[in-house]
Amino acid sequence: MDKPFIYLKGEGKRNTYVVWDAHDSIATSATFTSEADNTIAKCITFVNSYNSPPNKKPMKTAVAAMIQGDKSLFYRCGFFGFQDTLWDVSGRHYFKLCTIQGAVDFIFGAGQSLYECKIVGNGNTYLGRAWRDYARVLFYNSSMSEIIVPKGWDCWYNVGREYQLTFAEHSCKGLGSNTARRVKWIKKLSPQYLNHLTSFSFIDDKQGWMRKLPFHIFMA
């Protein structure tokens, strides 16, 4: 989708599905692609059905949604896949009350985004690993189950450059939130920086696109 100011509304994320099973290339496999600014989607589930549920097929990237336009909102949406489910490529995005499910790198990219969502993984898992230099991820006020491995984070190809990474947790709860055995290079954020990353100003702009969103979108 490359036209801006589009509002997609389904009948509920358990009722309205967009499904495809492409898996040849990360750049071309997405079931849904949004390249335009000011996209809104509500009550729709995007599924890449390749290898989901897991089967004997080779593991390949199979993107359910690729989001690279700026100033986009996804409200009560679902994103389901196995590997590379949601590619948050670039831009400022807000994901509210969404369900995001996968097994390998199922939220990734360089988007500047806020997620107030349910994230579901299969088996023991890390909170994140650094796909690129200067990766930045914060889990804030999140509930974590016991599937989180004690180390919490993986620097992947950034061994020796962990100082470049900003991986952090704050005010989390649940069996997986114990940070006693986390990697030593986990970041402790200042109150000012924490507030910056968790406020709407992190993804808003001078024109206030977040404040101008139609209120009725957030009604059930």
Q: Give tens-digit pLDDT for 173-202.
A: 999 999 999 999 999 999 999 999 999 999
Q: How many CB atoms lie within 10 A of CB 195?
A: 12
Residues designated as active site: 105
Question: Where do runs of H (alpha helix) occur along 151-212?
Answer: 191-198
Residue-wise pLDDT tens digits, 114-161: 999 988 877 899 999 998 889 999 999 999 999 999 999 999 999 999
Residue 97 Cα distances to 51, 113, 212, angstroms: 25, 14, 19
Average of per-residue pLDDT values in the chain:
93
Indicate the burial class of 119 (C-beta count within 10 angstroms; 0-12, 13-18, 19 or more).
buried
**In sequence order, which residues have a C-beta less than 8 Å from that of residue 175 and are 6 or more positions away?**
144, 145, 146
The residue whose two tokens read 């509304």 is: 9
- Residue in 111, 130, 122 with CA at minimum distance from that of residue 72: 111
Q: Picking from 49-53, 97-101, 151-155, which range would have the lowest pLDDT averaged per residue?
A: 49-53
- Where in the chain do CATH 2.160.20.10 domains reside? 1-123
Mean local confidence (pLDDT), 85-114: 94
The residue whose two tokens read 């990474």 is: 165
Architecture, CATH, for domain 1-123: 3 Solenoid (2.160)
Residue-wise pLDDT tens digits, 202-218: 999 888 999 888 877 88
